[in-house]
Amino acid sequence: MKPVESQLEKLDDAVRYGKKYGIHVQINFHRAPGYCCNAPKEPKSLLHDPEPLAAFTNLWAVLARRYRGIPNEELSFDLVNEPAPVAAYGATGATPSNYAAVARMAIAAIRAVDQSRFVMSDGWRWGKEPVMELHPFGPATGESIHCYEPQLLTHYKVGNPNEKRPCPPWPLEGWTNGVEWLERYVVKLWQPAIDDGTFIHAGELGCHQGNVPHATYLAWLEDTLRMCDRHGWGWALWNLDGTFGILDTPRTDCEFEDFHGHKLDRKALDILRKHR
């Protein structure tokens, strides 16, 4: 309920850097009061308890006031990362309705301060499906899809480093067209949101770089971005540098280009640039 000014100043820096370098900044709580999709578990639940909800809405009101007047072209908000009904995250028995109630209160807190700020809400179950309880979305709001499908490919060996089965091919066995697989198993879930005209953004997409062959990764990345192109969805790569990125990845099966002292996967970057 009492944000620390020195911590808020770090967000100020991020917003300024975005303006300086022409990169849109979207502020999101990866760990919100009472919820995070990573350990450790919060002591109280954002989706069930009043205290974290009060803190959550207060924080969004603080940020809305702090950045009021900055154009939406430069800055938007995304409420909380990957709401899901997982006990370990403090969301035991949670439903889309529980999350929708939280999201509506946060959006109302933002709107009370700034009527025009663009606000995104992640889809339910880690961004895999729309929260229809929030539909139809009003002006300056939208929904974020996270594209890591199929996870048996994008997260190959992430949860089980000793996995014995080989990495799946792309397209998956039995399919000749990867985009059509994505249409059936990703887009179909989002069809209700598409049909009611919701603004949709692929707020995350990516594939683990340490375990998936480079050629397979590039084919998957191309098809995933083609899917986004087909539906007019903007997108953001998770992440820039690291195990899901294009800089300093743990790969040993591709040639890297030196980029200011970093190892750059130029082939992946070229695909990203083609679909930007």
pLDDT given at position 276: 87
Percent share of the chain, pLDDT over 90:
91
Please determine whether the domains at 1-143 and 148-276 fall in the same fold group of CATH. yes
CA–CA separation, 66 and 123 (whole Å):
26
What CATH class does 1-143 carry? alpha beta
Q: Name which of 94, 95, 212, 194 is nearest 148 in CA terms.
A: 212
Cβ contacts of 163-168, under 8 Å, gap ≥ 24: 167/211, 167/212, 167/213, 167/216
Q: Which of 199, 191, 192, 193 is nearest to 140 (CA)?
A: 199
Q: Are strands 35-36 and 75-80 parallel, antiparallel or unpaired?
A: unpaired
Instruction: Provide the pLDDT for residue 90.
Output: 67
| pLDDT for position 91 | 77
Residue ranges per structural domain of the chain: 1-143, 148-276
Say how far apart CA 140 and CA 123 lie, in whole Å: 17
User: What's the average model confidence in pLDDT over 131-139?
Assistant: 94
Q: CA-to-CA distance for 107 and 92, rounded, in angstroms?
A: 23
List the CATH code of the domain at 148-276.
3.20.20.80
Q: CA nearest 254: which of 207, 210, 208? A: 210
Phi and psi torsions of 119, nearest 5°: -125, 125
Q: What is the pLDDT of residue 93?
A: 83
Q: Is the pTM of this model over 0.85?
A: yes
Give how far Cα 55 sits from Cα of 10, 27, 124, 212, 213, Å: 20, 17, 21, 41, 44
Rounded to an integer, the average pLDDT of 2-15 is 97
Answer whether residue 79 shows pLDDT above 90: yes
Q: What is the pLDDT of residues 16-58, one digit of tens each?
A: 999 999 999 999 999 999 999 888 888 899 999 999 999 999 9
